[in-house]
Structures are given as structure tokens and as C-alpha cells.
Amino acid sequence: MLALVITPAFAQKKGGGQKAMRADLDSAVRNGSLNEQERAKYDAAIKFLDGSRGKRKSGETVDRTAMRQAMKDLQQISRSENLKPEDREKLAKSMPTKGRRAK
């Protein structure tokens, strides 16, 4: 139960989990051709989420607003026209849309 609270909302779906979603996103970014601004957003969001995971493990608090923004940035990138259509479709199944909560 505690894992559902700590895990980001887009990674709480059954079946794939956070690692599968992350692998799909990494693969889509490698296969696509993000522009410089999207690449910077992607790198910053991934760096922040990785850092926040370490902070949570060590018992430190994490800026929830910044975490929410990082996840929004990743969702925006997952819908980018600079990614291949098949990758966007795959990510659309992995990442929730605005207002949808994981069960």
C-alpha cells in the first residue's frame, strides 16, 4: 500500500510498472528526434525524478510541486510530434492523461 503513495502516478498502472514505462520512454526518446528544448526538459525531468527517488529512500522530503511538474513535462514529451507514431501510441497506454488517477 505504501508503494502506491510513493510511486509516481504514471507508473502505478498494473502490468508494466515504473521500470517498463521508463524503458518505453527512454526507447521512444532514442528513436525520435527531440528538439533542443524538449531534450533539455526530458533530461531535467529524469534527473529530478531520479534524485527524488534517492531522497525518498533516505527519508528526506521531496518538493511535490517540482515532482508534479517533472511528470507533466514527461507527459508532454511523450505526446511530442518529434517521436515516432508507434512510440507515442505505446506511451499513451503507459502514461495517464490529465485528470486520470491510477487505481
Q: Which residues of 33-69 are buried (b: 16+ CB within 10 A; e: fewer)?
A: ebeeebeebbeebbebbeebeeeeeeeeebeeeebee
User: pTM of the entire structure?
Assistant: 0.72
**How does residue 19 score in pLDDT terms, banded at 50, 70 and 90?**
confident
pLDDT, average across residues 29-47: 94
Q: What is the CA radius of gyration of the chain?
A: 13
Q: What is the tens place of the pLDDT at every residue in 67-85?
A: 999 999 999 999 999 999 9
**Domain ranges (residues) in the chain:** 36-94
All cell numbers assigned to 27: 526507447
